[in-house]
Structure 1
Amino acid sequence: MSVTRTPTTLVSVDEARRTLLGLVSPLGAEDVALDEALGRVLAEDVVAATDLPGIDNSAMDGYAVASRDVSRARSDAPVILALGAESRAGHPPPPHQPRTATVITTGAPVPSGADAVVPVEDTLRTGRRVQIRTVPVTGAYVRRRGHDVRQGTVVASAGTRLRSVDIGVCAAAGRAQVSVAVRPRVALLSSGDELVPPGSTPLPHQVTDVNSSMLAAAVREAGGCVTHTDVIADDRSAVTSALIRAGERADLIVSSAGVSMGGHDHLRECVAALGAVDVWKVAMRPGKPIVIGRVVKTPFIGLPGNPVSSAVTFLLFARAAILAMQGAEELQPPVFPAILGDSFHTPAHLETYVRVRLRRDGKNLVATSSGGQGSDMMHALSGADALALIPAGLAEAMVGTPVGVMVLP
């Protein structure tokens, strides 16, 4: 196994993401029931098995009529029709008799011989007779067969990450199950002698392990599944053993901490010894030290240890990789134009991501700080709607500066 020298060149966010995405590929597909498909990525197009709706049906409760029979109706001179049969949703339609009004409910089939529906509020029923007080045009309140979807139409495309409304569309198209991408198996590693599990009381020299729980949730949000979580001591042999175990069990390894230049930061060197390191430093804040490479053949991304840096870099890199392994079309959260409502001082040589809340001011979307911007300040991240992207080369972003804002999932 060859050892790759760790690169030292500072690369852009886009270049680092391209490097990581070049290491991953879709993992295949499996069929699942619709009840299990929420959040999964479609592996093939879903095609409507029939016309939707499958028959002309009523958009209103009222009366199905032949428009020629009521062409002279007015509110002050209604046309009186005999009460006919009834058409109900879920039942075959009865034949419509001339000069009658067929009772019809919303969604019920429009009977042959009728070509319009008069809403019940435009009528007056007395015994077995119905006064029609308005003239319906042909096709009024009739949903034509196939007006929503024609048989054979693609209603959900491969690469779509299924929302609840998409599940409904697939059901309407006649599917009880769909083909979706296999969930990537992700191993999570956190390193540091100072870490103690959530729920325990840390001593003054210890820190609660925030990243393991946070990143596990982020993996699931992105559609992956966590194979296991390891908290590793600051020991080179322990780090090496943990990486080997992770590479054997997972499709992707995500670690936090241990990727900087400290004397006890072993992850970068261990990854290089076991496989390769392609990226180490990214021109961004928060999250400059990031390791992208592989452990043997398993893609690896090492995130910074500070929780905010870990969360932001997961969003920009690891989340995209997990979605790409599922063949998703959209790998990044949407970015919208906005203007700054606060001023920010940023390092000019780095692309900076600041935590912001969004509000609408006339035509403008305004981004204001959600709180402290330190990489250890989680509260401002939990209170944020988005990350404002302040480009490199701008040391001072003043109020009113146009920026892109990346909406948090």
Structure 2
Amino acid sequence: MGLISLDEAGGRSAACAEPVPGVLELPLVEADGRVLAEAVVAPIDLPPFANSAVDGYAVRHADLLPGAETRLPLLGRTAAGDPAGTLGHGAWRVFTGAPVPDGADLVVMQEDVSLSGDEVILPSPAKRGANLRRAGEDVARGQEVLPAGRRLRPRDLGLLAALGLERVRVRHRPRVALFSTGDELTEPGQRLRPAAIYDANRAMLRALLARAGADVVDLGILRDEPAELERHLRAAAGACDLVVTSGGVSVGETDHVKAALSACGSLDLWRVAIKPGKPIAIGEAAGTPFIGLPGNPVAVFVGFVFVARPLLARLAGTVDEAPIVFPVTAGFQHRKKPGRREFLRASLERRDDGAVIARRHPGEGAGSLASLAQSDGLLVLAEELEQLEEGSSVPFLPYVGLLG
């Protein structure tokens, strides 16, 4: 198989799956990060009644003298939680969030008002509607406020709570089987035998999968034995909605994952035109979508956020939103071979003139976990680029925008 573009790989990975079936109803306190199964329609107006946006005095615009101060009698007082009064010719003391009296069409801030006995002295007229929040001006009853397929965020939950909703209908989360492959791997916490390394990829992938809204079934470390790999692939495929592995998808003599996948399913694409992360296997194991990520940790991270995440979004019943890229100034030179999209780990610093400068992390290799942990995001070098000059503009993807 030849190299395919990153955009094609992400699109084809998402296209190989259907949303996980099933809907459940959850209380709002458990719904953060879940995907809405149906659109939410506002059952009430928001705000539900006209109220004051400030501490001040509610009046009728028609009672104010044009271009001059106005003296009006103080007719009443309403605090938040009190029932609304009815305004005649005069002023009504109101506090922030309190219902404005019927008939009032503006609120004058208390800082702009003076008192003289039982009279309120108001400045020349403010704009009609000033400092007044009308019923339904934020959300009107019957309005769709959140669409089906929306991944709920804390601010969404605040909106739903303001509408009086205690529970919400969401989709089931995809169940993802995860394992690492390699005879050299050892579980963290165990004694490190000679020529072995600790399995870092699974810890990172568990967290990435959880942030992407998956329920993770951690299957541990599998040895480089073709029959064992095939057996575990079949078992995982029968119990989960997606199988994700790391390691064993390159061209070495002990890289058996592709062969095991072909024995129990199919390999649809392999080798993506990116650096790091070229050897990424996408296919199906016993009818279940499969993604095989490389063994090097940086390649695992890049492959996950650009290839695996779109597939997970599809399984979850939502759409993977393209991360926001913003330009920064390169604080270094870099030469690359054309033909692959390259991702460099970089940290940002702000100069005295306000310019944002990207400094490349010194750990350049695809195995450098420190370069991920000690940088702010990824610089994106286009396929056709050969030379990045210091001082030139370069696209930057902050990690915060890649992890949901």
TM-score greater than 0.5 by the shorter chain: yes
- Measured after TM superposition, the shift of residue 392 of structure 1 is 2.3
1:191 to 173, 178, 181: 181
SS in 2 for 1:180: strand
Query: What's the counterpart of residue 50 of structure 1?
Result: 44
Query: What's the counterpart of residue 292 of structure 1?
Result: 282
Query: What's the counterpart of residue 339 of structure 2?
Result: 349
Query: What's the counterpart of residue 388 of structure 1?
Result: 379
Structure 2 CA distance, aligned partners of 1:9 and 1:354? 24
Percent same amino acid at aligned positions? 38
Query: What's the counterpart of residue 105 of structure 2?
Result: 115
1:24 to 3, 12, 17: 17
Structure 2 CA distance, aligned partners of 1:18 and 1:394? 23
Query: What's the counterpart of residue 144 of structure 2?
Result: 154
- Point out the more displaced range, 261-270 or 122-131: 122-131
Tell me the amino acid that sits aligned with residue 180 of structure 1: V
Structure 1 CA distance, aligned partners of 2:298 and 2:73? 73
Structure 1 CA distance, aligned partners of 2:2 and 2:103? 77
1:293-327 superposed Cα distances (whole Å, 9 cap, x missing partner): 11110111100111111111111111121112122
- Point out the more displaced range, 25-34 or 374-383: 25-34
- Point out the more displaced range, 246-255 or 390-399: 390-399
Structure 2 CA distance, aligned partners of 1:290 and 1:325? 19
Please list, as runs of the form range in 1=range in 2, the aligned pairs for 1:263-342 lying within 5 A after superposition.
263-342=253-332
Tell me the amino acid that sits aligned with residue 46 of structure 1: V
SS in 2 for 1:21: helix
User: In 2 relative to 1, CA 115–349 (structure 1 residues): closer, same or farther, beyond 3 Å?
Assistant: closer
On the 8 A contact 1:316/1:332 being kept in 2, the answer is: no
- Point out the more displaced range, 168-177 or 296-305: 168-177
**Structure 1 residue 61 corresponds to structure 2 residue 51:** no
**Structure 1 residue 101 corresponds to structure 2 residue 94:** no
User: In 2 relative to 1, CA 332–371 (structure 1 residues): closer, same or farther, beyond 3 Å?
Assistant: farther
2:122 to 105, 120, 132: 132
1:84 to 75, 94, 118: 75
SS in 2 for 1:214: helix
On the 8 A contact 1:73/1:79 being kept in 2, the answer is: no
- Measured after TM superposition, the shift of residue 57 of structure 1 is 1.2
SS in 2 for 1:374: coil
- Point out the more displaced range, 161-170 or 133-142: 133-142
1:369 to 353, 357, 360: 360
Tell me the amino acid that sits aligned with residue 404 of structure 1: P
1:13 to 6, 21, 27: 6
Structure 1 CA distance, aligned partners of 2:67 and 2:88? 19
1:404 to 388, 395, 404: 395
1:228-266 superposed Cα distances (whole Å, 9 cap, x missing partner): 332111212221222122111110000000111222211
SS in 1 for 2:298: helix
On the 8 A contact 1:19/1:278 being kept in 2, the answer is: no
SS in 1 for 2:74: strand
Structure 2 CA distance, aligned partners of 1:276 and 1:289? 16
Structure 1 CA distance, aligned partners of 2:198 and 2:183? 11
SS in 2 for 1:381: helix
Tell me the amino acid that sits aligned with residue 398 of structure 1: E
TM-score scaled by structure 2?
A: 0.91
User: In 2 relative to 1, CA 17–168 (structure 1 residues): closer, same or farther, beyond 3 Å?
Assistant: same
For structure 2, the residue ranges without an aligned partner over 5 or more in a row are none
User: In 2 relative to 1, CA 43–342 (structure 1 residues): closer, same or farther, beyond 3 Å?
Assistant: farther
SS in 1 for 2:370: helix
User: In 2 relative to 1, CA 324–364 (structure 1 residues): closer, same or farther, beyond 3 Å?
Assistant: farther
SS in 2 for 1:355: strand
User: In 2 relative to 1, CA 115–283 (structure 1 residues): closer, same or farther, beyond 3 Å?
Assistant: closer
CA-based RMSD: 2.2
Tell me the amino acid that sits aligned with residue 385 of structure 2: L
Structure 2 CA distance, aligned partners of 1:203 and 1:229? 21
For structure 1, the residue ranges without an aligned partner over 5 or more in a row are 1-7
- Measured after TM superposition, the shift of residue 402 of structure 1 is 4.1
- Point out the more displaced range, 56-65 or 396-405: 396-405
1:380-402 superposed Cα distances (whole Å, 9 cap, x missing partner): 11222222221223333222444
On the 8 A contact 1:156/1:170 being kept in 2, the answer is: no
Structure 2 CA distance, aligned partners of 1:140 and 1:331? 38
Structure 2 CA distance, aligned partners of 1:25 and 1:336? 32
1:64-109 superposed Cα distances (whole Å, 9 cap, x missing partner): 12333332685xxx544333222222222122232x3211111111
Query: What's the counterpart of residue 210 of structure 2?
Result: 220
On the 8 A contact 1:122/1:134 being kept in 2, the answer is: no
Structure 1 CA distance, aligned partners of 2:104 and 2:384? 70
SS in 2 for 1:325: helix
